[in-house]
Chain A
């Protein structure tokens, strides 16, 4: 090295604060990192939204004229909220992917070897991904408006619909983190599409389950993504042909219950799995 190795001029004494303060501050630092990703690689948003956007174009312009969802509903009106829900459903892949890359490259180990708050890696991922999902939704909503979709619901209902979408995404963060602990590397992370696809699409996103064969329709109805999709259609005031099964009649409640159940189950699993990395 050409430069001097003299003592650092910066004072390196760590600040003294409570552990609660650090839990928040370290989480904020991790969120900041997640947001820097968007600034460093703005195309990341396009990658994440690539599939939904292509779907919009395909379903609305290519297949749309041939799509008949019943109840006289216009297909764009039916499909757009579904697209929102599907994008949230696919989001767990983004969470899992970044966690897998961090683990594979050793970034996770660096964090674990540092005196930072233990919770911040997981909590920072959660908060950061929620902000990312908000950006995704905003972009997608603009595209939806551009192809003629409108929310006919009141501002409060519309806001509540977006809240339900983010709630679904929030719940899936924990599934993403949990799955990431089992995925050995980036290459295998690509295969997560094999889970994401049926999960996102075997639902009421593109077609009403009542038009599917009975057994398939049953699975699609009970898919949490369907509950969110149906609930937001109602909130957006988009005319929806709704089946008369119990689960479809209670979409509003289930759009809350499903994410809470998933979170209650997978959040502790994900945290415990992360803590057990040292075993």
Chain B
């Protein structure tokens, strides 16, 4: 099944925990030198997928190759070619940053002397030199994750797995980690990044795979996925007491699809082709008709919209099975606030 140029290749991965299918025929293809976002809500199977690909967990069925090596047949060789960081691969909190990296260096079999010089190198590269000889307990969340990243980079791996690298960090810590990841990517490392933050996938990834209930739901560039949801949208928030039908009328002939009305939120939303012309036209009509509005905004589809469209629920909702067909947008779509 080897396809040249693929750093990660998974086909039909299946993993059951008792009755629950954590991975239900999961597929993934990641070319070398790219950053791939694996996007899904809690419980979608992201972590299980990473654990199988990093040899921590045996799949029940299916095949996976990482850096050209079969994870089931030659796990030890896979381990020589990968790095793992994030939620489930951590550092020793009692040791210092330097002691951690030296320990892992030895265990990567580069020998004590080279483990020391590599540790110094990585501490500098991840801006941890000042804190190198402090206990990890004293590190901030962002520093800890950067040390974690450094530990996963000891052998300069071909493929790096980052499992929710910023979960639980404050915005500052998140930015620190993002910068560190971007720097790695410039160095040519292939990265598989799992996240439940759409913004993170959007910011860092070349390609995104959406996973839901253990299954691959869609793959594409962030732009492609957003394009699939439809282009730009115009959203009008009516003033209290305004007849929403009159707002809908203003969209006539301008919207490229029937406007959606959310009565409780007093919003009317519709996709438009030419955003500036449409905005001008709608605003003009509303004014001419004397319709009171609170807000008019032009919004571009976010990965949130993509996620909702593909899975029938939002990314930050727990993954509850619903009877709703996945491609049926719910009225929640219109709750989206302009960013």
Contact = CB atoms under 8 A, between A and B. Distances in A.
Given A36-B99, A114-B104, A1 B127 contact: yes
Interface stretch (A10-18, A58-66, A149-157): A10-18
Interface string A1-21: 111110111111111010000
A118 B95 CA distance: 22
Given A36-B99, A112-B56, A29 B106 contact: yes
Contact of A12 (B77, B118, B151): B118
A113 B54 contact: yes
Range, interface on chain A: 35 or more
A10 to B, nearest CB: 4
Interface of B: 54-58, 76-77, 79-80, 82, 84, 87-96, 99, 103-104, 106-111, 114, 117-118, 121, 124-127, 135, 151, 154-156, 179-180, 183-184, 186-187
B58 A5 contact: no
A1 B95 contact: no
A12 B92 contact: no
Contact of A115 (B91, B99, B109, B127): B109
24 contacts: A5-B187, A7-B187, A9-B117, A9-B121, A10-B114, A12-B154, A13-B110, A14-B109, A14-B155, A33-B103, A36-B94, A36-B95, A40-B94, A40-B95, A41-B94, A106-B90, A109-B88, A110-B104, A112-B56, A113-B54, A113-B55, A113-B82, A277-B56, A278-B57
Nearest to B118: A10
Nearest to A121: B107
A115 B80 contact: yes
A29 B103 contact: yes
A3 B124 contact: yes
B107 A116 contact: yes
A272 interface: no
Contacts of A218: none
A115 B76 contact: yes
Contact of B114 (A11, A26, A41): A11
Contacts of B91: 107, 110
A111 B107 contact: yes
Given A26-B107, A114-B108, A115-B79, A8 B56 contact: no
A38 to B, nearest CB: 10
A170 B266 CA distance: 71
A196 B168 CA distance: 36
B121 A8 contact: yes
6 tightest CB-CB pairs across the interface, nearest first?
A106-B90, A115-B79, A116-B107, A14-B109, A1-B183, A110-B89
